[in-house]
Structure 1
Amino acid sequence: MKRIFELTSSDIMNMKGRELVETIRESEGRTVMAETIVTFPTPIYGVSNPELAAAFGADLITLNFFDFQKPFIFGIDDMDANISKGPEEIIKLAEKATKNSQDADYIRNLKEIVGRFIGVNIEPVPEGMEYVEGRKLSRENLEKIKFYGFDYVMITGNPNTGVNADTIVSGIEMCRKVLGDDIMIIAGKMHGAGSGNIYDPQLLKNFVKAGADCVLIPAPGTVPGIDLSTAKKMIDVVHEAGALALTAIGTSQEGSQKSVIENIAVQSKMAGSDIQHIGDAGYAAGIATPENIMALSIAIRGVRHTYRRMAYSIKK
């Protein structure tokens, strides 16, 4: 089996969830995930944030703020718009999002463009919490995940969503029932999200028991109290339960100097992380400082495998 940084675009297009899990496991802690917000204008005109993340070395790209009812990706769906022409151009963008919701090839086309695994954040917000319906973890939205052909789903909480351990467990169970085994399920919390962090080893076991293929935790140095020792203990629990572990940089440190990213990356690897995630807040929310995506990759797998991944942007 190929390691993840050896996969070509055609390999990625044809791989299923179980194969993806095993490929990551075989890669020995050298998998990079970049999270990108798709609803913000991009820092580089004419280039979407997923494309930019792929160009700087990400293997997996997670779409944040993706609305299943009105899907829209800046840098791709807005390229024919000219706002200076007036309000009718805004209407065209709204119409485009509505049209995208019925396009079964929408995400598959994005995969063709970036040549990477594409996943999506979906949030198990508590009952009664006001939140965008298209971003909630619901049966309707999970069916859309299958409809669009996402490779994986990440169950977590953005700040102030009220997401907690109980809603995450319920969300995992629903995901597994609806999605089956062809889509990898990642679950956990990378920061407080307004309702505290998860440190209890039993909660991590509960995530795996509910059906998570991979459990995410904060990377060492990203939230108070998570150091190398604590992260290693948490990751050991996840591995013993039979799942992969993901360490996340979700506290805006993705916009820090390169040395901070490198330090977090090496500590995460020492702790046993299988996937290293870098968040979406660089100069402005939307994508990490692109050079930091590359710095993370080089820190955990060197320039050889980083440049290989960066070069595998075309279909082979």
Structure 2
Amino acid sequence: MTSVDEAPRWWSATATWRLLSCPASASPTAAPAKPPEHSASNAGAVAHLALQAWAEAGEWSFPDPGGRLQERFDEVAEVHGAEPARMPQAIITRARLKSRGKELAAILGRASERTGLLSELMLVDDQEHLFGIVDLVAPGPGGLIVDLKTGRDASVLSSPAIEHQMRFYAHLFQATYGSLPQSAIVFSLQSGPVEIGVTPSATAELLSDIRTARLLAGITARPDAATCRFCPKRMICQPHWEALSTWDHADAIEGRIVSIEHSTSGTVALLVGSDWLTGIPAGLLPEGATPGQFVRAVRIRRRRDSPLGDWCATSSTRLHIAPA
């Protein structure tokens, strides 16, 4: 896929999903690498770290695996200095760990009896330059891959993106161990296990689609609300900004800053053209920002209690301000 003198680019499940959805949004990496370690910044992250420690220690074999998993949640929170009482959804997440622990333990127990169990395992396809970090893997023939959904995606039973992810991991499993896993399971704290079909034809078709799309990487932009929402190139993608006005539920604005207002609560409001954007954390606004500068704001929402044209920042809002 590369010339002799060109260093290969490596593609993850997320990068290939973006590649197939919008080639211009895809961002391969120079080499396979694990993402930064989870920080216990929210209940989903604490739960994920607890599940990892619980699986690595073989605690799914305990008489009360759910109770032990719940204890792990408390231990992880304490080690990271997190305060579950201040975290949205922490109480319900902690309760779900206990109620779902036995169900997950049964799945892991059946798989580990045959092949053992590994967590946070990097799998690679050196020939195609594909890689992925799988939450739980029972390697070898008759093996298993499990992806844990603990955060905001825990309510999703399945989706095209999740199916892509699991079939991508199944291909990596096959490249590593010589055969597809017997099962590919998405395990949600909210809804339990969902098995994703990983037939030879499905994984072969996915690999063919990825090969074809890589030839167009960086060339074609296909703006879409779902694809663009967390795209790393969103701020500078002009086709996205041109398409924004046609979306039923836009979540971004751009324009000149007319006014900047600071509240006593520590948030900032911007008047962008004729639209107010309120609730911006003060730390999100670059130091020295002034009226007259051009701003782009993404992942915002319309205010229900204000006239059309008023917007409010969210916990995932991002700003980009150009010089005046």
Same fold (TM over 0.5): no
| Structure showing greater relative contact order (alpha-carbon pairs closer than 8 Å, 6 or more residues apart) | 1
Between Structure 1 and Structure 2, which shows a larger proportion of strand residues?
2
TM-score of the superposed pair, with normalisation by structure 2: 0.26
TM-score of the superposed pair, with normalisation by structure 1: 0.26
Instruction: Decide which structure has the larger Cα Rg and report it.
Output: 2
